[in-house]
């Protein structure tokens, strides 16, 4: 990436101002949900044309997905491990009874920000940050938490407010 391109895109990774987050929260509460559901796929695509997860990885560094049983079966098989050994080595149970990674950053995140199990990663990772699905406006507390650190959510948020 050239330095000019970096200069043009690095602001995308800035943390949003509290006032902007408040504005967005109010927007989500009163928005016509059928209208934004139609707008989200294009805005999601536009955000990820500008934002490269390999330049970010904030989700993988600071949070864990849930590892549901189908995820555990798929990933342990890919790694050639027994499911119980995989659980013992990598996972712990959170207060809601879901398996999550024992460590942060995620143990499958490489130094280059690439995921070593990308094609087999948990469904939560595949869906994150929910910018192309109805979770985006149905689970407002989750979206607001994600908006604090995920540049893609921030970008979609700004585009929706500007419409």
Site residues for ligand SF4 per CB under 6 A: 51, 53, 56-60, 65, 106, 108-109, 115, 117, 121-122, 125, 128-129, 149-152
Q: How far is the CB of 32 from ligand SF4 (least distance, A)?
A: 26
Rounded Cα distance, 147 and 104, in Å: 20
DSSP annotation of 91 = E
Return the SS3 of 103: coil
Count of beta carbons in the 10 Å neighbourhood of residue 69: 9
Q: How far is the CB of 163 from ligand SF4 (least distance, A)?
A: 21
Which CB atom, from 43 or from 125, has the smaller least distance to ligand SF4? 125
Return the SS3 of 96: coil
Which CB atom, from 91 or from 152, has the smaller least distance to ligand SF4? 152
Q: How far is the CB of 102 from ligand SF4 (least distance, A)?
A: 12
Rounded Cα distance, 93 and 108, in Å: 18
- Residue 49 has phi, psi (to 5 degrees) of -75, -30
Which CB atom, from 46 or from 117, has the smaller least distance to ligand SF4? 117
The residue among 70, 65, 149, 60 whose CA lies nearest residue 108 is: 60
Q: How far is the CB of 27 from ligand SF4 (least distance, A)?
A: 20
Interhelix angle 69-79/83-90, nearest 10 degrees: 100
Q: How far is the CB of 9 from ligand SF4 (least distance, A)?
A: 12
């Amino acid at each position: 990436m050239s330095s000019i391109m970096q200069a043009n895109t690095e602001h995308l990774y800035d943390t949003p101002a509290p006032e902007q987050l408040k504005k967005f929260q109010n927007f989500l509460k009163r928005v016509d949900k059928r209208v934004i559901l139609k707008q989200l796929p294009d805005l999601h695509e536009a955000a990820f044309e500008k934002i490269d997860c390999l330049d970010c990885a904030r989700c993988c560094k600071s949070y864990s997905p849930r590892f549901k049983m189908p995820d555990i079966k798929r990933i342990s098989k890919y790694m050639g491990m027994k499911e119980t050994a995989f659980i013992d080595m990598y996972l712990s149970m959170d207060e809601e009874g879901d398996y999550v990674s024992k460590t942060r950053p995620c143990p499958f995140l490489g130094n280059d920000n690439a995921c070593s199990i990308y094609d087999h990663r948990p469904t939560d990772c595949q869906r994150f940050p929910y910018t192309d699905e109805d979770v985006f406006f149905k689970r407002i507390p989750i979206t607001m938490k994600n908006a604090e650190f995920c540049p893609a959510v921030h970008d979609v948020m700004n585009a929706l407010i500007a419409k």
